[in-house]
Amino acid sequence: MTFFITGITGKVGGAAARRLLDEGHGVRALVRDPFKAEGWLRSGVEILQGDMNDAGAVSAGLQGVDGAYLMLPPFFVPGPGFPEARAIIRAFREALEHVPPPRVVALSSIGSHQPGGLGMITATRMLEEGLRDQPFPVAFVRPGSFLENYLPNLQAAAQTGWFDSFLQPVDRGFPMVATEDIGNQVARLLVDGWRGTKIVELGSPVSGDEMAAAMSEALGRPVRARAVPREEWESGLASRGMPPGFIQPYVEMEDAYNAGWIAFGVPGTEPVAATRTPAQLFARAHGETNGARPGASS
């Protein structure tokens, strides 16, 4: 079979493509900069140049495939009302109307069922709304927080011995998952298929204390978790170089996690546990940083 993959130069799209190629399937990808996809071209991926907000480019990618994986790129400084996401969703809908594939897997997020108060997750809620009424099977994968987002915290913990957490309290588990698990789930859905609309909640609960313990194991030094005081969030994020337009949506999202507004357990969804642990991810990242063979510590 042949599948159309968006975001192949990113973590999730790349993981899905690798899994599909390993299983002997064909992969076609849409990329803005073909130079960044030269490795994929050498691996046998058919590379199309174009933007996801171009319905014509997306339509070309959909021609003759057995399924498609669609995602929104990260918007580091989203405009008011998320106009960037709206443009891509419009392009997706137009392309899917012109070239309907047998099935589509879309990358959503935990919390996307809620009507508002989601911060950065607002974009994936919009994506679900835009693709839910298609005449072919659509699966929305709602992962928990990406474990890879905490790799900068590993670097900081190596120097300070502290894991500073916005998710609080630090002894409470929050859904998390590695991008490799997400990509593998996308590939499984594309190959196996399903009927109607399917929603998968992907991830397992991990507390701040457990994250600190995993960092400690990888670094070989004590690491403890501590909650960042709420009144220090905005200034702390700004001091780390986070763009002003990103700070408020990020803070709103973290507040929603802590309040339980963003959570797993939505009726009608399929729970799928994470397989890769924080300790495995951190050990590999630390080994690569120190020149070890990737995966040797996993």
Determine what percent of the chain is predicted with pLDDT higher than 90.
87
pLDDT tens readout for residues 192-222: 999 999 999 999 999 999 999 999 999 999 9
Residue ranges making up the domain that contains 178: 2-289
Q: In DSSP terms, which residues pair with 164 in a beta bridge?
A: 226
Q: What is the 3-class SS of 231-253, one letter each residue? A: HHHHHHHHHCCCCHHHHHHHHHH
Q: What is the pLDDT of residue 76?
A: 67
Asked whether residue 298 is assigned to any structural domain, the reply reads: no
Of the candidates 67, 77, 79, 73, which has an alpha carbon nearest to the alpha carbon of residue 53? 73
Residue 289 has pLDDT above 70, yes or no: no
- Write out the two tokens for 274: 């994470």
Q: What secondary structure does DSSP assign to 193-206, as a single string?
A: --SSEEEEEE-EEE
**CATH code (residue 42):** 3.40.50.720
Q: Quick check: 174 and 207 in contact, CB under 8 A?
A: yes
Asked, for residue 294, whether it belongs to a domain, the answer is no
pLDDT one-digit tens code per residue, 258-276: 999 999 999 999 999 999 9
In a domain, 37, yes or no: yes
Residue 31: both structure tokens together = 């990329």
Does residue 190 fall inside a structural domain?
Answer: yes
Beta bridge partners of 138: 104, 197
Q: Hey, which bits of the chain come out as E strands?
A: 2-6, 26-31, 46-49, 67-70, 104-107, 138-143, 145-146, 162-165, 174-177, 197-202, 204-206, 224-227, 270-272
Amino acid at 34: P
Contacts of 190 (CB under 8 A, 6+ apart): 1, 3, 16, 20, 66, 67, 69, 103, 105
Band of pLDDT at residue 71, cut at 50, 70 and 90: very high
Q: Determine, yes or no, domain membership for 98.
A: yes
User: Residue 297: inside a domain, yes or no?
Assistant: no
CB–CB of 57/88 below 8 Å? Answer: no
User: From CA 219, how far away is CA 198, in angstroms rounded?
Assistant: 40
- Gap between the Cα atoms of 41 and 152, Å rounded: 30
Classify the C-alpha dihedral 96-193-195-114 as positive or negative. Answer: negative
Whether residue 158 lies inside any domain: the answer is yes
Query: What's the structural domain count of the chain?
Result: 1
pTM score:
0.93
Asked, for residue 234, whether it belongs to a domain, the answer is yes
